[in-house]
Structure 1
Amino acid sequence: MIKFADHTTKPLVYDMWKTVFGDSDEYMEIYFREKYRNENTLIYFDNGKAVSSLQMLPFNLSFHGSEIPIAYFSGLCTLPEARRKGFMGELIKKAFDVMVEKDIPLAILVPQDAGVMNFYRPFGFTQTFDAGTVLPDLHQIVSESENPETAYSTFDSFFRNQDMTVQKSFDDFRAIVEEATLFDFPAKKSLIGMARVIDAEKLLTIFAKKHPETKISVKISDPSIEKNNAVFVMKNGKVSKKGNEISAQFNVEIDTLTQVLLGYKTAELSNDYSRIFPEKQPLIGFMME
């Protein structure tokens, strides 16, 4: 059984996190105060016991000249004795349903390693963020600023005008600084990340508006989200949805659609994609990882 967390089950999520990740009490106090919210947290109960959970943290992503709401999947964990039983898979599918209901068109996550990355691929997630970009020196920003608002403005200026970049609010920044203080402000680089389109029509519509010269038809295959299984025609800055029984210029799986819409290494996919979907450098970092 899957339920949203509430004030009585929040401690169960905390205990699962502590068991699986082993983070310090100091870090967890910051995270569960600043980032955790019951309404964004799903718990899987097996025979009445909380055995698995995930959180859908709200952020914005700069996307083809707009900012879209996204869900950052965080704290995905299953107790050791409850693994390999499909509980996390059920939570992920339920999270997709929640995102559809809330009109959130894109999910992202940061996998711990290649093995974890492979776990998420069957759910339509694909790599869209690379590691290695040097991020702003948080300690320098804070120490040279007159107040937190000025520090945030300096921090935000690095990300605000970059397309395909996870943006941070002032409250996000406060939590990032507090966490960094715990670890003596370590140097930060961008992270490897994955993404997954939840609402293809919404994202294609934003793309079409930004690129009104584009005239193509795309047939999408998505085994998890039925509304995405259709042919979408882009013309004159608009998108129309057709039945998936008609033919299209492009036939794409949902993972490929995610990559091309975010402009992730489109030139390496094929010339057909790169001439339509401009290549970008998606960026994710400072996620309290």
Structure 2
Amino acid sequence: MIQFADDTTRQLVWDMWKTVFGDPDDYMEIYFRHKYRNDQTLLYMEGNKAVASLQMLPYQFTFCGTEIPVIYLSGVCTLPEYRGKGYSRQLLMKSFDIAASRDIPLILLVPQEEWLLKFYDKQGFIQTFDPGTEALPSLNDLLQRHSENLYTAYREFDSLFRYKDMTVQKSFDDFRAMVEEAALFGFPPKKNLMGMARVIDLQRLLSLFADQYPQTSFSVSVQDELLKINSSSFTINRGKVERNGPPAETLFHFNIRKLTQLLFG
């Protein structure tokens, strides 16, 4: 049975995270204090035992010049003795339903191991972000420049990313959690991570694309094996999107993964 977490199951989520990922308690304390929320946590229960879970962390993401709400999936895990039963897949499908109900058109995640690429591909995710080769701006240097005011440091940090397209935007609370985590590990150099995306509301994303590229005209027929709402034909013309309208001269046929990669460039 799938349910949201509550105050009685919070410790179960902590214990599961500890078992599966083995992170140190001081890191987990930062994560659970800043990011964990009951209404963003799904559990798969066998009786009174939580055997699989995931967190749906809310962020803003800049897509085609517009900030949209996204879910970043974190802590997707199943206890070792309960694997192979499809529990994580069921939790992912439930997260798709929740994203749609909350008017969130896109889900992102960062797979921690190579084999997970194939697992998430089966759920309609595709790699859309390459791992970085250059270090990101140093948080330690930033904090030293603004040693008296964390919010001022955040303002400079935010100015580096706020107007970059295809970028997850961070709030001040997100930044504060980043600083605490980085300090815990001695401010190691950071690079962009390889990431995957799953489109929940294709028409909304196509509308944003069409608005940014009003001279673009084409039609696309899309197949989405899991989210039938995305399986349709769309015509993009003069900054507008029409579902099942008259096809443009140029017609493409894509599955949801390929179209997602093209939309993300």
Q: Calculate the TM-score normalised by the size of structure 1.
A: 0.88
Aligned to 2:105: 105
Q: Secondary structure at the match of 1:213?
A: coil
Amino acid at match of 1:249: L
Report the Cα offset of residue 48 of structure 1. Answer: 3.6
Report the Cα offset of residue 134 of structure 1. Answer: 1.8
Report the Cα offset of residue 208 of structure 1. Answer: 0.6
Q: Secondary structure at the match of 1:250?
A: strand
Aligned to 1:273: none
2:234 matches 1:220: no
Judge conservation of contact 2:5–2:43 (CA < 8 Å) in 1: yes
1:109-168: CA deviations, max 9, x gaps?
001121112211100111111112321100010011141111001111221121101111
Aligned positions of 1:157-236 closer than 5 A: 157-236=159-238
Q: Percent identity over the alignment?
A: 56
Judge conservation of contact 1:64–1:164 (CA < 8 Å) in 2: yes
CA distance in 1, matches of 2:85, 2:48: 16
Deviates more, 1:112-121 or 1:192-201: 112-121
Q: Secondary structure at the match of 1:123?
A: coil
Report the Cα offset of residue 236 of structure 1. Answer: 1.2
CA distance in 2, matches of 1:194, 1:225: 17
Judge conservation of contact 1:141–1:151 (CA < 8 Å) in 2: yes
Aligned to 2:43: 43
CA distance in 1, matches of 2:135, 2:220: 36
2:2 matches 1:2: yes
CA distance in 1, matches of 2:228, 2:45: 26
Aligned to 1:13: 13
Q: Secondary structure at the match of 1:141?
A: helix
Report the Cα offset of residue 49 of structure 1. Answer: 1.9
2:260 matches 1:261: no
Q: Secondary structure at the match of 2:122?
A: helix
Q: How many residues align?
A: 263
CA distance in 2, matches of 1:233, 1:57: 32
CA distance in 2, matches of 1:13, 1:219: 41
Aligned positions of 1:245-260 closer than 5 A: 249-260=251-262
Aligned positions of 1:136-175 closer than 5 A: 136-145=137-146, 146-175=148-177
1:15-46: CA deviations, max 9, x gaps?
10011011111111110010011111110012
CA distance in 1, matches of 2:93, 2:15: 23
Amino acid at match of 1:258: T
Amino acid at match of 2:80: P
CA distance in 1, matches of 2:99, 2:124: 15
Report the Cα offset of residue 224 of structure 1. Answer: 1.0
Aligned to 1:281: none
Judge conservation of contact 1:222–1:253 (CA < 8 Å) in 2: yes
Deviates more, 1:145-154 or 1:119-128: 145-154
Aligned positions of 1:52-91 closer than 5 A: 52-91=52-91
Amino acid at match of 2:236: M
Aligned to 2:34: 34
Judge conservation of contact 1:59–1:72 (CA < 8 Å) in 2: yes
CA distance in 2, matches of 1:77, 1:113: 13
Unaligned runs of 5+ in 2: none
CA distance in 2, matches of 1:32, 1:73: 15
CA distance in 2, matches of 1:15, 1:238: 49
Report the Cα offset of residue 186 of structure 1. Answer: 0.6
Report the Cα offset of residue 242 of structure 1. Answer: 1.3
Report the Cα offset of residue 248 of structure 1. Answer: 7.5
CA distance in 2, matches of 1:130, 1:159: 17
Deviates more, 1:185-194 or 1:156-165: 156-165
Judge conservation of contact 2:70–2:104 (CA < 8 Å) in 1: yes
CA distance in 1, matches of 2:77, 2:92: 11
Is the alpha carbon distance of 1:2 and 1:248 closer, same or farther for their aligned partners in structure 2, counting shifts above 3 Å?
farther
CA distance in 1, matches of 2:233, 2:255: 12
Cα RMSD after superposing both structures: 1.8
Deviates more, 1:63-72 or 1:42-51: 42-51
Judge conservation of contact 2:217–2:250 (CA < 8 Å) in 1: no
CA distance in 2, matches of 1:220, 1:83: 32
